[in-house]
């Protein structure tokens, strides 16, 4: 991914949570890095640069999604790295962290390098996340040092949570020794066999088996105990797609106790509830499932009060024929890369009155910090030239059929979004322009 010529973004309002800048600024990108940030009209090195006129627009660090499924290798009929990253660019994301539940599972340096190869045609930077155990079977640890050397930024068994205490303890300890985070999909699968949505009145009415909230919160509490037992500030546990008030409360308490425990929340978990399943709508089937209104409100509260470290989409594309089946047979997951910013601006910024800088921080600086992505999530001079330029005031309607992703499995088709991406620049290249 080599940069094109120098780019000068002029006339915009720069919001960079990482540096605290929230003011009119011009910015120069050169050789894939931020070369200069100056007062309007004061760039010194912009001669010959391509000009992007950002008058009336917000200029911000490129968004970072630390939880996506790009489906390659092995499931290119759902999504490819090329189409998934094109969707990311359209949504303002300049970097994505790809989960290892591919076919075969990404548990080796070879697959990690394959995912990052230029032949994949990625529009934005892909950071692979390696499997914690061989084949994600929860038994034998992988070579974390080798995975990191190949480019992995964290380890996880994702949808196959590590249930054995001893294996999870060893995973946390081994990952900490090489400076990797451990991401846990918190689900005690012994409690969710045959379940396809949240336990509660809606599941009862639909005749579906429900997942108890304790399946999530119990594993989060177990993992936090293991972090505490290891007694090392190098151990980092990150809770993926947190969805229950009990799990959020456990994270909140862990932080009060000084433990290095972080978490993310997906837009669908702070916007939707299990009522949206309606009459067996498979576009509202995901794991963790949509929860009760009380859990949904707890996610929103945790975002507002700072317990949540990042907003991540859990972008999980599926082919149409896979979702057009009975609810219990349909796979879990929805797409999310093209809707995250529009949803966050509409509901967190406009409705919940969260300052725009804080919303952008949850989508850029803070995700970069969670995974230690140096030079990302900020537009400080010398950082990577990852930029989003967007109009924060434009309303638009999302049409899944017009999206860049291969898949259309979203509950947000037809929703009105706020904030339209004009340009996405990844490492000095314009990868999306509207």
Q: Which residues are catalytic?
A: 314
- The answer to whether 51 touches 43, Cβ cutoff 8 Å, is no
Half-sphere exposure of 230 (CA within 13 A, CB side): 27
Q: How far apart are CA 246 and CA 304, in angstroms?
A: 17
Distance separating alpha carbons of residues 325 and 226, to the nearest angstrom? 40
Q: Could you give the CA distance from residue 260 to residue 224 in angstroms, rounded to a whole number?
A: 9
DSSP code per residue over 272-333: --GGGGTTT-GGG--SSPP--HHHHHHHHHHHHTT---EE---B----HHHHSS-GGGSPP-
| Nearest of 50, 16, 10, 57 to residue 30 by alpha carbon | 50
Please, are residues 25 and 39 in contact by the beta-carbon 8 Å criterion?
Answer: yes
Distance, in Å, from the CA atom of 153 to the CA atom of 150, rounded to the nearest integer, reads 9
């Amino acid at each position: 991914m080599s940069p094109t010529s120098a780019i000068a973004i002029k006339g915009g309002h720069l919001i960079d949570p990482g540096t605290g800048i929230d003011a009119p600024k011009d910015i120069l990108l050169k050789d894939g890095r931020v070369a200069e940030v100056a007062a309007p009209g004061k760039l010194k090195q912009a001669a010959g640069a391509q000009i992007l006129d950002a008058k009336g627009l917000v200029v911000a660090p490129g968004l970072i999604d630390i939880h996506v499924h790009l489906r390659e290798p092995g499931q290119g009929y759902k999504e490819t790295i090329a189409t998934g990253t094109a969707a990311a660019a359209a949504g303002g994301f300049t970097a994505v962290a790809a989960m290892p539940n591919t076919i075969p599972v990404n548990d080796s340096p070879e697959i990690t390098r394959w995912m990052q190869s230029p032949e994949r045609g990625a529009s934005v930077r892909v950071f692979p996340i390696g499997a914690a155990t061989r084949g994600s079977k929860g038994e034998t640890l992988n070579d974390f040092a080798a995975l990191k050397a190949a480019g992995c930024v964290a380890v996880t068994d994702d949808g196959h949570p590590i249930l054995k205490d001893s294996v999870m303890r060893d995973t946390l300890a081994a990952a900490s020794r090489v400076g990797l985070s451990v991401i846990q999909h918190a689900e005690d699968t012994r409690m969710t066999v045959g379940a396809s949505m949240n336990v509660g009145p809606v599941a009862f009415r639909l005749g579906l088996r429900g997942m108890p909230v304790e399946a999530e919160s119990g594993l989060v509490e177990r993992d936090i105990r293991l972090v505490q037992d290891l007694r090392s500030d190098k151990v980092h546990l990150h809770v993926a797609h947190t969805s229950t008030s009990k799990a959020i409360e456990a994270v909140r308490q862990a932080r009060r106790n000084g433990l290095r425990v972080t978490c993310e929340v997906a837009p669908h978990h702070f916007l939707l509830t299990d009522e949206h399943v309606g009459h067996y709508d498979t576009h509202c089937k995901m794991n963790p499932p949509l929860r009760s209104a009380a859990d949904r409100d707890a996610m929103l509260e945790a975002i507002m009060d700072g317990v949540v470290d990042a907003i991540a989409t859990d972008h999980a594309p599926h082919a149409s024929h896979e979702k057009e089946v009975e609810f219990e047979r349909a796979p879990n997951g929805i797409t999310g890369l093209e809707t995250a910013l529009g949803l966050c601006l509409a509901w967190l910024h406009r409705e919940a009155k969260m300052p725009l800088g804080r919303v952008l921080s949850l989508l850029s600086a803070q995700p970069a910090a969670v995974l230690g992505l140096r030079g990302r999530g900020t537009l400080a001079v010398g950082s990577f030239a990852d930029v989003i330029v967007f109009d924060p005031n434009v309303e638009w309607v999302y049409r899944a059929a017009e999206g860049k992703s291969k898949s259309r499995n979203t509950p947000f088709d037809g929703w009105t979004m706020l904030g339209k991406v004009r340009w996405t620049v990844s490492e000095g290249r314009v990868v999306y322009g509207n």
